[in-house]
Amino acid sequence: MGTTKTAEEVKKEQQSIMGIELGSLYNLLYNETIWLHYKWIEFEELYGVKESRIKMLNQSAPFFFFIIQKVLWENILLGIARITDSTKTGDKRNISIQALPDLIENEELREKIKIEINEILQKTKFCRDWRNRWIAHYDYNLSLDSNAQPLETANRKLIKESLKQITAFINILHEHYFKSRLMLDHIKNNRGANLLLRTLKDGLREKENYLNRLATGKLLDYDYDKREI
């Protein structure tokens, strides 16, 4: 059986093979890419699979799940904007895919990476527009001027395409240095949104049973339990 490496072991391996500076930067971007996929999977499980799930959320706690939808959505847009940002903000350095080429010694790989980065920057431009004028800053004109340029279109299809292209980019480096690929499309998580949905389904079923017992006057002992959760 194979062994699972700790996050620190993965980091040290990447630093050992790629060099300290490139390996350290790559490790951060590698982890952030995986984290973005996990968040997107949870979002999709709740809001992107089928209408019956959205109906279940609205039957359970509509305002709460509206907040979760908005916060997750904006957080994912922000995450993509951060890792595709410019290498500096003023005199402060940023962790960004744009910082990688200068640290790559192999000329052929470096040029290939530059081309990929330019394509990613075009693909993800909408994320940085949302970050700059809505998420990180409350743009004055956008908020008060009806003639202001609207935010660039952002939808699930564009998010999926952006994450796919970022993963392909990470895999170019991963294949070159580690002779393997990240299979992020196959990530499964049964302890997150999927488990929550199953619990909500059971809860709504029990709520219906309770209302039926209440209507027929056949309440059970635990129906009278009003203790705090």
Whether residue 123 is predicted with pLDDT greater than 90 in this model: the reply is yes
**CA 144 to chain centroid:** 30
Whether residue 2 is predicted with pLDDT greater than 60 in this model: the reply is no
CB-based contacts of 164: which residues, under 8 Å, 6+ apart? none
Q: What is the DSSP letter of 150?
A: P
pLDDT tens per residue, range 19-50: 999 999 999 999 999 999 999 999 999 999 99
Name which of 204, 205, 185, 228 is nearest 44 in CA terms: 185
pLDDT tens per residue, range 202-220: 999 999 999 999 999 999 9
Q: In whole angstroms, give the CA distance from residue 200 to residue 205.
A: 8
Q: How many CB atoms lie within 10 A of CB 219?
A: 11
Whether the Cβ atoms of residue 74 and residue 130 lie closer than 8 Å to each other? yes
Q: Specify the long-range contacts of residues 189-192, CB closer than 8 Å, at least 24 apart.
A: 189/38, 189/41, 189/42, 192/41, 192/42, 192/45
- The structure tokens 């973005």 sit at 36
Q: Which two tokens stand for residue 149?
A: 């340029």
Average pLDDT over all residues of the chain: 94
CB-based contacts of 166: which residues, under 8 Å, 6+ apart? 33, 36, 80, 83, 84, 97, 120, 124
Q: In whole angstroms, give the CA distance from residue 53 to residue 181.
A: 33
Q: In whole angstroms, give the CA distance from residue 54 to residue 45.
A: 10
Buried-exposed string 177-193: b where 16+ CB fall within 10 A, e elsewhere: beeeebebeeeeeeeeb
Name which of 171, 182, 164 is nearest 113 in CA terms: 171
pLDDT tens per residue, range 151-206: 999 999 999 999 999 999 999 999 999 999 988 877 778 889 999 999 999 999 99
∠ Cα 81 83 88 (to 5°):
95
Q: What residue segments make up the domains of the chain, in order of their start?
A: 7-186, 190-229
Q: Which two tokens stand for residue 66?
A: 């509206």
3-class DSSP assignment, residue 92: strand
For the segment 109-116, the average pLDDT, to the nearest whole number, is: 97
